[in-house]
Every structure is written in structure tokens, then in C-alpha cells.
């Protein structure tokens, strides 16, 4: 299991959520395996929090599946409507 760079995670999320108003990735420990991600996207409109998180997990399936990401904290929300 190799460490993952925050930029690698950001690229995967940008591909999955090209309309994201906010996309933040934080390496919580500096070891490349504990991350917190924040995604604000209009694509989450009408989705439950669980479904929003599932979409993030789907976008990061490869590094989650191979154990590169040991811990993932997810914050999501839809873009506020004016």
C-alpha cells in the first residue's frame, strides 16, 4: 500500500464532480493515508447525505480499494440556491 498524494485525490474528485463549487482535500496526518475531503456540488441537489457520500466513495474507489486511503472523512453539500 503506497501513500497517496492529496493532488491525486483532488484530480479524481475533479473528474467525478466537474461542476464542484468547492473541492478541498486535506492530508490530515501528512502520511498520505488519512484524508478529509469537502465537495460542494450542484450534482448533490436532491440527494440524501448518504447518497452524496456514496458518490465520493465511488470516485475514490481505486485508492480506497487498494488500501492507499486508510481513513476518509467526507463533507458534502449541494450548492445553496439563491
Higher confidence at residue 81 or residue 16? 16
Coil vs helix vs strand at 75:
strand
Report the predicted TM-score, pTM, of the whole model to 2 decimal places.
Answer: 0.92
In this prediction, residues 17-35 reach a mean pLDDT of 95
Domains and CATH numbers, the chain: 6-77 (3.30.300.90)
Q: List all residues 6 or more positions away from 47 whose beta carbon is below 8 Å from its beta carbon.
A: 55, 78
Judged by DSSP in three states, 81 sits in coil
What's the pLDDT at 2? 74
Q: Which residues pair with 43 in a beta bridge?
A: none
Residue with cell 491525486: 8
What are the grid coordinates assigned to 72, written together? Answer: 476518509
Q: Give pLDDT tens digits for 29-70.
A: 999 999 999 999 999 999 999 999 999 999 999 999 999 999
Alpha carbon distance 70, 21 (integer Å): 26
Amino acid at each position: 500500500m503506497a501513500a497517496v498524494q492529496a493532488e491525486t485525490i483532488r484530480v479524481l474528485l475533479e473528474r467525478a464532480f466537474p461542476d464542484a463549487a468547492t473541492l478541498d482535500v486535506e492530508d490530515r496526518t501528512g502520511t498520505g493515508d488519512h484524508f478529509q475531503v469537502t465537495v460542494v456540488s450542484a450534482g448533490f441537489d436532491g440527494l440524501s447525505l448518504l447518497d452524496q457520500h456514496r458518490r465520493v466513495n465511488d470516485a475514490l474507489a481505486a485508492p480506497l480499494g487498494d488500501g492507499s486511503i486508510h481513513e476518509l472523512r467526507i463533507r458534502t453539500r449541494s450548492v445553496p440556491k439563491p
